Amino acid sequence: MSSTLQLPTIDLIPFLDDPSSDASLAECRKAAEALQSFSALTIRDPRVSEEHNSVFLDMMEEYFAQSTEAKEKDARPEVGFQVGVTPENKEVPRCGKDERCKELVEKMEPENQPLNFDGPDPKWRFFWRIGETPKETKYPQLNADPVVPAGFPQWREIMDGWGGRMHEAISTLSEMLAIGFDLPRDTFTQLTKGGPHLLAPTGSDLSKYGKVGTVLAGFHTDLNFLTIHGKSRFPGLHVWTKDGRKMLARVPDGCLLVQAGKQMEWFTGGAVTAGFHEVVVLPQTVDTIEVQKARNRPLWRISSTLFFHTASDNLLQPLNEFDSVEARQKYPKMPAGKQVQIELGFISLMSNKDE
């Protein structure tokens, strides 16, 4: 049984009011320390409300509740499912193909070990591009045109609205983290400008996969720079602290959850590690099914997720004080687009070969 983790909450208001104030600098340092300790934190941004998230969740519940045939029209396997819908049982957890990851799990205490992560995830996903697209790139597959599903006239408005708010919040946090790490304020925002940022809600059919112990998203880390989530209507997200403790993530009302991805680990030479996590059906998840039934809503667990990426043509490498001979050996220079292609090969969405 995992314990509940109340992650540190970072208040963006002091930074938005005056980035040079003592209160702002304290929040910046707190954010950097939290990410190094937990690989995750929560943020409170006055520009983002639970009402915005609720409108988005309502639409995504309706979308995923459609027939399989209707949804599959929105799949684009030819670009590694990097836009449009990814069907269930297609995406494989990264750790299921990584021997080093399996060894890490074997060394964990039994109570901290994840549930099964060898098979494909029974979740659907939709990728919607957020932010500006680069004029030129060596990685066109990672910067493909968006897919707009039929029958949702407000699709673009709602997706751009919610995705834009989360993008704004994570961009602000990126500035704060740079300051907290004693880097120039625009370090991360320059590296991520024009990145293939993706609003990436998942949908899990709890009328089909609603048994306690079912793994909806197997043990893995995210391949991107930072991941930000609005609050899901169904609990079930486990995160692992840097020292290997398994915790049920609790996100305060009105807050957003942020997790470090592999690209953040790269830039910090491993000072921040990409955060391991899984999504499973818990007894609390089943309790919430009854709440959804009472609301006469589809029984789909939606994750309100945005993947914030380094621009595909920018280089990943340890930065400034994080740079060392040892760090360069472990995190060699590599275009972010190449790193993403390699990772997508691991999770069965794209060939590892250069296009």
Residues 147-174: tens digit of each pLDDT: 999 999 999 999 999 999 999 999 999 9
Q: What is the pLDDT of residue 258?
A: 96
- This prediction has a pTM of 0.92
Q: Check if the beta carbon of residue 66 is closer than 8 Å to that of residue 299.
A: no
Looking at domain 3-346, its CATH superfamily turns out to be B-lactam Antibiotic, Isopenicillin N Synthase; Chain (2.60.120.330)
Q: What is the pLDDT of residue 82?
A: 84
Beta-ladder partners of 238: 248, 278
User: Between β-strands 40-44 and 9-11, what pairing exists: parallel, antiparallel or unpaired?
Assistant: parallel
Q: Check if the beta carbon of residue 44 is closer than 8 Å to that of residue 8.
A: no
Q: What is the pLDDT of residue 190?
A: 97
| Tokens read off for 288 | 């919430």
Q: Check if the beta carbon of residue 191 is closer than 8 Å to that of residue 102.
A: no
Using 70 as the pLDDT threshold, list the residues of the chain that sit under it: 1-5, 141-143, 346-355
Beta-ladder partners of 306: 199, 228
DSSP assignments along 234-281, one per residue: S--EEEE-TT--EEEEE--TT-EEEEE-HHHHHHTTTSS-PPPEEEE-
First to last CA, the chain: 45
| Tokens read off for 70 | 């209707």
Dihedral of the CA atoms 185, 174, 220, 108 (nearest 10)? 70
Domain residue limits, the chain: 3-346
Q: What is the pLDDT of residue 60?
A: 98
Which stretches does DSSP call E strand in the chain? 3-6, 9-11, 40-44, 84-86, 124-129, 198-199, 202-205, 215-220, 226-230, 237-240, 246-250, 256-260, 277-280, 300-308, 315-316, 334-335
